[in-house]
Structure 1
């Protein structure tokens, strides 16, 4: 199966000398096209660093990162910005919507910032895919938290990126809204072969993925396929006890 994202022997250390912290320690992992992967681990395990390096938001000290067939190592900031704009979508815990703009205008914002005319049909399609048809003119204050997050996902999808990185996308939502957002992400994988890589601390969220990858102390320490909330929670409990 083709891989949309590949990390090989990636190391990332923050700080110097005695205070240096190794966030990623020789990590090698691939993410197949059209799959949903959850990344989990105890606090400080390196999961956010893995996402940031894989998404081109941070540069590893050594190793290789390939996204959509492009080697990120050595790219200029300008080319890296263009790659993120065209091939990568981002969804975060905070929705990052501008309150004075409508849902459609928020989805159009990346195109406007890039100096391009927004594609109205693509914007309407992205919002409809998130169950927000008819909400195009609503501002964030007129939407629920779950609906705001779905606007943020539509914004990430409007360019048809090769991969969507989601960092705790349900962390600010109640359980009902979380289920709704996760169901939408799952549907994107199943119906459109969207590649999604999600960092989460929630076993219920992780159970929506095809695979759960576990990290501890900056290293890969295992994975689960066809996960359930129970199997994920059990694995996380063992990791957290080992970290004590």
Structure 2
């Protein structure tokens, strides 16, 4: 008998994040509530300083919210100790960053296996090879990062993020350092992870072409979610919404 998943992959309830104290404090997130459903792909956009990265960091448990609460896979992060929070991130969260963050001395397959080793787990037979094949790098398993192109390194990073079967994969500008062809391949892999493997992806991006791969686009301004597009009709529609936001921010 299959148990149905009733909770969201990630939930933010009235999340606020302030930095500093007193008159010098800055509110980076201001009473944000949002849910990310299982098997969904959400892009997060907004002008510079709008709170995009802070939203991702709080949602991923990399940064503690000042107020409100964050749940990942139904688990409230608020009462967790740093040790418990680290364990939850390791087991239930995948990360892909603009800078690939691979270990230079390790091969592609060793980089992919690293999260399992850090968790004290052993990869199942063929598990790492299967994930590398999924990202098109079956023949690059023994290559170190320095022997791979930027696009290939990012695909290793995606494989590393997916190998633990996380509840959610957070991607922060994953195509920011890549050429157009490599960017398209990375975005195709993220889309495939959602469609074929029911992965949840939350991606911060400034690029309307990247955001067009998502099911939903959230727009932030001044630490708040101010607009949303569901099933965007293409990069032009997203760019128009962004232009409207940025015009408003300048006034």
Alignment TM class, shorter chain as reference: over 0.9
| Structure 2 residue aligned with 1:93 | 98
Q: For 2:25, which of 9, 17, 20 is the aligned residue?
A: 20
The number of residues matched between the two structures is 244
Q: Are positions 1:117 and 2:130 aligned together?
A: no
Alignment of 1:64-213 (within 5 A): 64-213=69-218
Distance 1:226 1:118 in 2: 36
| Structure 2 residue aligned with 1:45 | 50
Task: Give the RMSD, CA atoms, in angstroms.
Answer: 1.1
Query: C-alpha displacement at 1:112, in angstroms?
Result: 2.3
Alignment of 1:51-62 (within 5 A): 51-62=56-67
SS at match of 2:126: helix
Contact 2:7 2:73 in 1 (8 A): no
Runs of at least 5 residues in structure 1 that lack an aligned partner in the other structure = none
| Structure 2 residue aligned with 1:241 | 247
Distance 2:229 2:174 in 1: 21
SS at match of 1:134: helix
Runs of at least 5 residues in structure 2 that lack an aligned partner in the other structure = 1-5
Distance 2:74 2:126 in 1: 28
Q: Are positions 1:232 and 2:238 aligned together?
A: yes
Query: C-alpha displacement at 1:115, in angstroms?
Result: 3.2
Distance 2:142 2:97 in 1: 22
Distance 2:188 2:122 in 1: 31
Q: TM-score, normalised by structure 1?
A: 0.97
Query: C-alpha displacement at 1:119, in angstroms?
Result: 3.6
| Structure 2 residue aligned with 1:7 | 12
SS at match of 2:23: helix
